[in-house]
């Protein structure tokens, strides 16, 4: 809402992403809580709009790789960041995974997220089918506390049907649904400066003083120019990462944007000394992961290929890996040319996980088999049946005929709406006495195998500690 500061100047605020998207993009979300606990009380004084620190892949990574309870991590973050909005990313009806959950599961997940300390819940759907974010929104409103913010998020992509007008309509819809703020999520970093200008001016005209946020990635090198145009066009909040964890597949740098904005006469509310201290703290942390190979040079570099081929960088490297495995790299150019065709046939889905992999794999299959859609993957069949939601444009008739035949597409909401409690009952039964809380049940529903493994580890740890701990005698 471009709040005017006391001196009358404009304000653009910054969300710090080091604890979620920056480490997810640069080091596959392997940053343990212990690595940053000591800087949290300092970060709490920085003056960020929010700290993105939970959701996305952090939940899975805690259980799968780090032997951490994601809920305990959240409670610790809350305790050490009492004055800062804690932010998470949520994939609507998919929560933090890729399948649709029942509405009662979605509601419970949000209740527990808020109870354990989350303030800002940024909610998106891969297809921008807003029916898939309705339950999440209603749950946030139901359990909202004083600082709770429901942020409606749009997956940004480029296609003949993704016009400025279409994005403006989406924003009007999010506002009407009752979201508190709106975020444009450019996951591939392909939004160009002038696209940002037309989009943001148009959206701001349409949504009035509602807070508008831009999330982009430095992947293609566009981000600083795009942010500059976004700022000129009226953006309210931008996502950045402390500079040693910025650039490449991560976000643009917090301090750099702070200095640029200050020179524009725009206030950020940030404390210069503190944000530099935060970066100093993370420098050796980053070096540790560069040295052990978890952060590689490729993720830190600029890769403009996404602008040439109009597909995200991760999707290209995935395709190259698959073709190399099959000794078929000679088909790379043909597979690349096939992507736009497959995407058009599928109704121009945004190329975000898991759709980017699905489109990429189908393009490779079409080229390798030598006949279009002779083999169709199970995931794409489900997509065509309607299980993911409604695509931005109609699916090609050829594909509908092949997959659906005489059957009608399904409404993904029919199954989602069931509130039988069966997921909770099944989880409690599977966990038995390993289960100590509602949060354990929720972890199991989201990631059963990883949670079982983690809860067994937790019990072994507790038993070991009870053996070695000497009780005080006084
Ligand atoms: Co991102």
How far is the centre of ligand 1, averaged over its atoms, from the C-alpha of 452 (Å)? 29
* Ligand 1 ion: Cβ-proximal residues, 5 Å cutoff: 21
How far is the centre of ligand 1, averaged over its atoms, from the C-alpha of 399 (Å)? 31
Q: How far is CA 292 from the centre of its chain?
A: 26
How far is the centre of ligand 1, averaged over its atoms, from the C-alpha of 21 (Å)? 6
How far is the centre of ligand 1, averaged over its atoms, from the C-alpha of 12 (Å)? 19
Answer with the one of 232, 263, 291 that is the final residue of a domain: 291
Distances (CA, A) of 182 to 26, 59, 123: 26, 24, 10
Q: Is 33 helix (H, G, I), strand (E, B) or coil?
A: helix
How far is the centre of ligand 1, averaged over its atoms, from the C-alpha of 287 (Å)? 22
Burial class, 293, CB count within 10 angstroms (exposed 0-12 / middle 13-18 / buried 19+): exposed
Q: Is 54 helix (H, G, I), strand (E, B) or coil?
A: strand
**One pLDDT digit (tens) per residue for the chain, 474 residues:** 445 555 568 999 999 999 999 999 999 999 999 999 999 999 999 999 999 999 999 999 999 999 999 999 999 999 999 999 999 999 999 999 888 999 999 999 999 999 999 999 999 999 999 999 999 999 999 999 999 999 999 999 999 999 999 999 999 999 999 999 999 999 999 999 999 999 999 999 999 999 999 999 999 999 999 999 999 999 999 999 999 999 999 999 999 999 999 999 999 999 999 999 999 999 999 999 999 999 988 889 998 988 887 777 778 877 888 898 889 999 999 999 999 999 999 999 998 888 988 999 999 999 999 999 999 999 999 999 999 999 999 999 999 999 998 888 889 899 999 999 999 999 999 999 999 999 999 999 999 999 999 999 999 999 988 776 665 566
* CA 123, 129, 132, 134 torsion-angle sign: positive
Instruction: Identify whether 406 is part of a domain.
Output: yes
Both 148 and 43 in a single domain? Answer: yes
Both 360 and 227 in a single domain? Answer: no
**Closest Cα partner for 94 from 117, 123, 73?**
123
Both 61 and 137 in a single domain? Answer: yes
User: What is the C-alpha to C-alpha distance for residues 228 and 210, in angstroms, rounded to an integer?
Assistant: 20
How far is the centre of ligand 1, averaged over its atoms, from the C-alpha of 338 (Å)? 26
How far is the centre of ligand 1, averaged over its atoms, from the C-alpha of 31 (Å)? 16
What per-residue string of b and e applies to 356-378 under the rule 16 or more CB within 10 Å gives b?
bbbbbbbbbbbbbeeebbeebee
The count of domains in the chain is 3
Instruction: Identify whether 330 is part of a domain.
Output: yes
* CA 225, 229, 232, 235 torsion-angle sign: negative
- CATH number of the domain that residue 390 is part of: 1.10.472.90
Residue 441 host element (H or E): helix 438-446
Answer with the one of 262, 291, 320 that is the final residue of a domain: 291
Tokens 């000129």, located at residue: 232
How far is the centre of ligand 1, averaged over its atoms, from the C-alpha of 17 (Å)? 9
How far is the centre of ligand 1, averaged over its atoms, from the C-alpha of 156 (Å)? 11
Answer with the one of 252, 269, 291 that is the final residue of a domain: 291
How far is the centre of ligand 1, averaged over its atoms, from the C-alpha of 19 (Å)? 12
What is the CA angle 217-354-303, rounded to 5?
A: 30
Both 429 and 345 in a single domain? Answer: no
Both 282 and 168 in a single domain? Answer: yes
Instruction: Identify whether 297 is part of a domain.
Output: no
Instruction: Identify whether 8 is part of a domain.
Output: no
Helical ranges in 144-250 per DSSP H: 164-177, 193-207, 223-232
Verify cis geometry, omega within 30 degrees of 0, for the bond prior to 354. yes
DSSP state for residue 151 in the 8-state scheme: E
Instruction: Identify whether 472 is part of a domain.
Output: no
How far is the centre of ligand 1, averaged over its atoms, from the C-alpha of 239 (Å)? 9
How far is the centre of ligand 1, averaged over its atoms, from the C-alpha of 217 (Å)? 6
Both 110 and 204 in a single domain? Answer: yes
The neighbour count for residue 226, using CB atoms within 10 Å, is 27
How far is the centre of ligand 1, averaged over its atoms, from the C-alpha of 213 (Å)? 13
Cβ within 8 Å of residue 62, ≥6 positions away: 68, 69, 70, 73
The answer to whether the CB of 232 falls within 8 A of the CB of 317 is no
How far is the centre of ligand 1, averaged over its atoms, from the C-alpha of 256 (Å)? 19
Both 89 and 157 in a single domain? Answer: yes
372: containing domain: 305-414
The whole-number pLDDT of residue 1 equals: 43
The neighbour count for residue 449, using CB atoms within 10 Å, is 10
What's the token pair of residue 236?
């309210």
How far is the centre of ligand 1, averaged over its atoms, from the C-alpha of 408 (Å)? 35
How far is the centre of ligand 1, averaged over its atoms, from the C-alpha of 344 (Å)? 24
The whole-number pLDDT of residue 5 equals: 55
How far is the centre of ligand 1, averaged over its atoms, from the C-alpha of 251 (Å)? 8
Both 184 and 221 in a single domain? Answer: yes
Instruction: Identify whether 460 is part of a domain.
Output: yes
The whole-number pLDDT of residue 296 equals: 86
What per-residue string of b and e applies to 239-257 under the rule 16 or more CB within 10 Å gives b?
bbbbbbbbbbbbbbbbbeb
Residue 381 host element (H or E): helix 378-385
How far is the centre of ligand 1, averaged over its atoms, from the C-alpha of 274 (Å)? 24
Burial class, 98, CB count within 10 angstroms (exposed 0-12 / middle 13-18 / buried 19+): middle
How far is the centre of ligand 1, averaged over its atoms, from the C-alpha of 157 (Å)? 13
How far is the centre of ligand 1, averaged over its atoms, from the C-alpha of 389 (Å)? 22
How far is the centre of ligand 1, averaged over its atoms, from the C-alpha of 142 (Å)? 27
How far is the centre of ligand 1, averaged over its atoms, from the C-alpha of 24 (Å)? 9
Tokens 């404009």, located at residue: 10
The answer to whether the CB of 416 falls within 8 A of the CB of 386 is no
User: What is the C-alpha to C-alpha distance for residues 446 and 449, in angstroms, rounded to an integer?
Assistant: 9
Both 217 and 271 in a single domain? Answer: yes
Burial class, 73, CB count within 10 angstroms (exposed 0-12 / middle 13-18 / buried 19+): buried
The whole-number pLDDT of residue 408 equals: 87
The whole-number pLDDT of residue 8 equals: 63
Both 317 and 204 in a single domain? Answer: no
Instruction: Identify whether 177 is part of a domain.
Output: yes
- CATH number of the domain that residue 168 is part of: 3.20.20.70
Instruction: Identify whether 2 is part of a domain.
Output: no
How far is the centre of ligand 1, averaged over its atoms, from the C-alpha of 240 (Å)? 10
User: What is the C-alpha to C-alpha distance for residues 369 and 235, in angstroms, rounded to an integer?
Assistant: 47
How far is the centre of ligand 1, averaged over its atoms, from the C-alpha of 369 (Å)? 34
- Taking the alpha carbons at both ends of the chain, their separation in whole angstroms is 60
Both 284 and 313 in a single domain? Answer: no
The whole-number pLDDT of residue 454 equals: 97
**Closest Cα partner for 392 from 30, 4, 67, 130?**
130
Q: What are phi and psi of 106, to 5 degrees?
A: -60, -45
**Closest Cα partner for 275 from 253, 307, 308?**
253
Both 256 and 332 in a single domain? Answer: no
């Amino acid at each position: 809402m471009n709040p005017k500061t006391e001196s009358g100047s404009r304000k653009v605020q910054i969300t710090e992403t080091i604890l979620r998207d920056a480490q997810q993009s640069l080091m596959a979300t392997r940053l343990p809580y212990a690595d940053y606990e000591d800087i949290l009380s300092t970060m709490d004084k920085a003056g960020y709009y929010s700290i993105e620190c939970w959701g996305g892949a952090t939940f899975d990574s805690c259980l799968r790789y780090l032997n951490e309870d994601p809920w305990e991590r959240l409670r610790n973050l809350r305790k050490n960041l009492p004055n800062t909005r804690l932010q998470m990313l949520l994939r609507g009806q998919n929560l933090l995974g890729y399948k649709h959950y029942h509405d009662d599961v979605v509601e419970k997940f949000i209740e527990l997220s808020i109870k354990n300390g989350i303030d800002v819940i940024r909610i998106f759907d891969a297809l921008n089918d807003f029916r898939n974010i309705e339950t999440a929104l209603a749950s946030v409103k139901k359990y909202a506390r004083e600082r709770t913010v429901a942020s409606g998020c749009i997956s940004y992509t480029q296609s003949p049907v993704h016009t400025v007008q279409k994005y403006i309509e989406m924003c009007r819809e999010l506002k009407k649904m009752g979201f508190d703020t709106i975020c444009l999520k450019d996951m591939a970093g392909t939004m160009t400066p002038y696209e940002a200008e037309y989009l943001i001016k148009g959206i701001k005209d349409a949504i009035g003083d509602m807070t508008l946020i831009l999330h982009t990635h430095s992947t293609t090198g566009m981000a600083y120019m795009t942010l500059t145009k976004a700022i000129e066009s009226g953006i309210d909040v931008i996502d950045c990462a402390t500079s040693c964890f910025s650039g490449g597949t991560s976000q643009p740098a917090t301090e750099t944007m702070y200095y640029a904005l200050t020179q524009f006469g725009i206030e950020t509310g940030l404390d210069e000394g503190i944000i530099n201290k935060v970066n100093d703290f993370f420098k050796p942390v980053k070096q540790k992961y560069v040295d052990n190979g978890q952060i590689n040079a490729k993720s830190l570099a600029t890769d403009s290929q996404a602008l040439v081929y109009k597909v995200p960088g991760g999707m290209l490297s995935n395709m190259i890996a698959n073709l190399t495995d099959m000794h078929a790299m000679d088909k790379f150019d043909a597979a690349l040319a096939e992507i736009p065709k497959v995407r058009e046939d599928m109704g121009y889905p945004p190329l975000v996980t898991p759709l980017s992999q699905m489109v990429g794999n189908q393009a490779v299959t079409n080229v390798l088999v030598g006949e279009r859609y002779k083999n169709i993957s199970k995931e794409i069949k489900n997509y065509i049946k309607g299980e993911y939601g409604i695509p931005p444009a109609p699916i090609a008739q050829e594909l509908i005929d092949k997959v659906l035949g005489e059957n009608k597409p399904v409404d993904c909401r029919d199954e989602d709406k069931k509130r039988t409690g069966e997921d909770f009952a099944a989880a409690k039964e599977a966990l038995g006495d390993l289960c100590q809380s509602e949060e354990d049940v929720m972890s199991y529903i989201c990631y059963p195998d990883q949670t079982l493994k983690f809860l067994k580890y937790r019990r072994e740890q507790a038993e070991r500690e009870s053996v070695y701990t000497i009780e005080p005698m006084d």
